[in-house]
Chains A and B, each alone.
Chain A
Amino acid sequence: MKEDPGLYDYWPYENRPEITWPNGARVAFWVAPNIEFYELDPAVNPHRKAWPKPVPDVSGYATRDYGNRVGHMRLMRLLDKYGVRGSISLSTALCEHHPEIIAMCKERDWEFFSHGIYNTRYTYGMDEAQEKAMIEDAVETILKHTGQKCAGYLAPALTHTEVTMDLFAEAGGIYTCDLFHDDQPTPVQVRSGSKFVSVPYSLEMNDTIVYVVNRIEPRRYGDMIKANFDRLYAEGADNGVVMCIPLHGYQVSHPHRLRAFEEALEYITGHPDVWVTTGREIAEYYIDHHYDAAVADIAAKGRQS
């Protein structure tokens, strides 16, 4: 095990080269609905249990299934209303299980990126060949069912190995959502040397973390989102930033939560100079316009020792 993942160098937020976004936007804003499939009785991973209770864990399974039966469609209507295209963190087996959901996302020109095969299959314990095959399976599944070349990665259930980023970059990926170290995109070092970046995907704004881990009230979540946006919007006047809201159809789409969330979404999209976009578009724009300057600045400010 290593002291540091070795994926990026320390790079202070102050005095960085300026990031500009299309049309002079201050904030690149993206929404990432997680569209997931949890298995009732998954194969056992010796490093992590899938469910706290013996199979069938009815509460855990049913809670997730609610997203697919009820939640995603509510969220689609809401995002449509405010002109937001989702960037889907996808359990790729859902293409086979629930193609109707995939079709609805395709109609909306949403982006699909990989969140593994199932959210009950963890990367822990995989050797490199196994993880490579799993990543390639997910990328191929997305291509086959959506026609999209997968650009982004959020590891299934946020389970990683030391080579996850390397393998995904080698499978053709250009960005990761797994790093929470910054409010701007940053270069990520992968062994192939390809241009690979972190696109901020805020765990602090993630509905599951907010509602379940931190047990935050729905209306307070709306307030937190607005406060998060207000500060980033102010700072983005000097140097462009990214704001992401990761969501789950089985969390935010409950009837006691959606209205408070809608108020926050209405607030953000009601501002000028907000680039409402997707993860891939942010990554591509950054690589094309800002990646080289960032690498040079990081080098000039000295690598950490």
Chain B
Amino acid sequence: MTLEKSYFEYPHRSYGMDHDYYDWSMLVDRKPVEWPGGKQLALWVNVALQFFPLNQRGKPFPPPGGMSTAYPDLRHFTLREYGNRVGVFRVLSALDQFKVKGSFAISSRLAERYPYLVRRIVDRGDEILCHGWNMDTPHYGGQDKQEEAEIIARSLKVLRDVTGQRVTGWISPGKSQSLHTPELLVSNGINYMCDWVNDDMPFQFRTPAGDITAMPLSTELEDRFIILNNLHSETEYADQIIDAFDYLYAEAAEQGGRLLALNVHPWMLGQPHRIGKLELVLQHVMSHQGVWSAAAGDIRAAWLDAQ
């Protein structure tokens, strides 16, 4: 056997990254950040309100948490619907109980289908991010750029119309992107995206249409990832988040402001046997004086100010 000669050519083997999206930078080398009010840790709770269509195409890949039986997969469809009907209200109560400011990433198709829920979030004065058209409309490498541009424009138009908010934040379904996604987001008035989980702090990302901020929304600390992907218990979920908080809080005291980014799915943590663990986590975090609970857009703005 022999490989092509090109397999031994390394066109990007030089200083920095192997692409132009962002600069190479180590967290320890960056200017320390102080959050508003002299706080050391910013708590960002993202509540994902997602629509998984029953007629999932799964092309070119199915979304995490999507339909998995033969059609019609009533089981997974209704389990996900549970989050938007029941679970979300438990999550809202938990946020309010501990005075936590949530941010809400909403599938635009969900906003169209359930105006009551959107109105509820808007009336709370909470920030809404766009979570793509629906969970079965992925952005992916090789996608036609015009097609993707149309999806992004439509998703934002619908969500902006329904919510009346500017909507400047974005999370792709499954955090999947094409090579064009960041550029198309900038062209559509988005100024931060949450798909790149390569840091514990925000960082600037370049596109041909201008810069966009990458706000790392940790996958490792996500309820879905810990409980559904890793099959860890509810107790272990709480242990891991509390361990993460304690670590970041201590690191922030030495090295400057840190960000604890928790992605919460009401269809997961909104179940009666799990909601108590979210409450336990929020109680632990909010019992610390140095915590700043804020919306994602406000955290981004404070971070930019500190640069």
Contact = CB atoms under 8 A, between A and B. Distances in A.
B175 interface: yes
A40 B247 CA distance: 30
B60 interface: yes
Contact of A255 (B174, B195, B251): B251
A228 interface: no
A98 interface: yes
Q: Can you list the 3 inter-chain pairs with the closest CB atoms, starting with the nearest?
A: A54-B141, A256-B244, A65-B198
A224 B234 CA distance: 21
B176 interface: yes
A237 interface: no
Interface of A: 37, 39-41, 43, 45-46, 53-59, 61-66, 68-70, 73-74, 93, 96-101, 117-118, 121, 125-127, 130, 133-134, 215, 217-219, 254-260
Interface string B7-39: 111101111111100001111110000000000
Contact of A125 (B3, B9, B177, B219): B3
Interface of B: 1-4, 6-10, 12-19, 24-29, 60-61, 140-142, 174-179, 195-200, 216, 219-221, 229-232, 236, 239-241, 243-248, 251
A18 to B, nearest CB: 41
Contacts, number: 148
The residue among A55, A98, A217 with the most chain B CB atoms within 10 A of its own CB is A217
Given A68-B24, A257-B243, 8 more contacts: A43-B9, A55-B179, A58-B176, A58-B177, A62-B197, A118-B10, A256-B220, A259-B247
Given A97-B24, A218-B240, A130 B8 contact: yes
A63 B18 contact: no
B291 to A, nearest CB: 15
Given A93-B13, A126-B3, A217-B236, A59 B197 contact: yes
B13 A96 contact: yes
Contacts of B251: 74, 255
Nearest to A250: B198
A179 B5 CA distance: 29
B37 to A, nearest CB: 22
16 contacts: A39-B18, A43-B6, A53-B61, A53-B141, A58-B175, A58-B195, A66-B198, A69-B26, A74-B251, A93-B10, A101-B26, A121-B7, A130-B7, A215-B230, A218-B240, A259-B243
A64 B196 CA distance: 11
Contact of B140 (A53, A63, A257): A53
Nearest to B16: A97
Contacts of B7: 43, 45, 121, 126, 130
A98 B176 contact: no
Contacts of B61: 53
A272 to B, nearest CB: 29
A55 to B, nearest CB: 4
Given A54-B60, A127-B2, A59 B176 contact: yes
Contacts of A259: 243, 246-247
A96 B4 CA distance: 24
Nearest to A101: B26
Contact of A134 (B8, B232, B241): B8
A88 to B, nearest CB: 16
Contacts of A257: 240, 243
Contacts of B219: 59, 63
Contacts of A65: 198
A253 to B, nearest CB: 10
Contacts of A127: 1-3
B17 A97 contact: yes
B165 to A, nearest CB: 26
B178 A258 contact: no
Contacts of B26: 68-70, 73, 100-101
B27 A69 contact: yes
Contacts of B17: 97
Nearest to B174: A59
A54 B27 contact: no
A259 to B, nearest CB: 5
A126 B199 contact: no
Nearest to A43: B7
A254 B12 contact: no
A46 B4 CA distance: 10
Contacts of B16: 97
A68 B199 CA distance: 9
B243 A218 contact: yes
B18 A40 contact: yes
B2 A62 contact: no
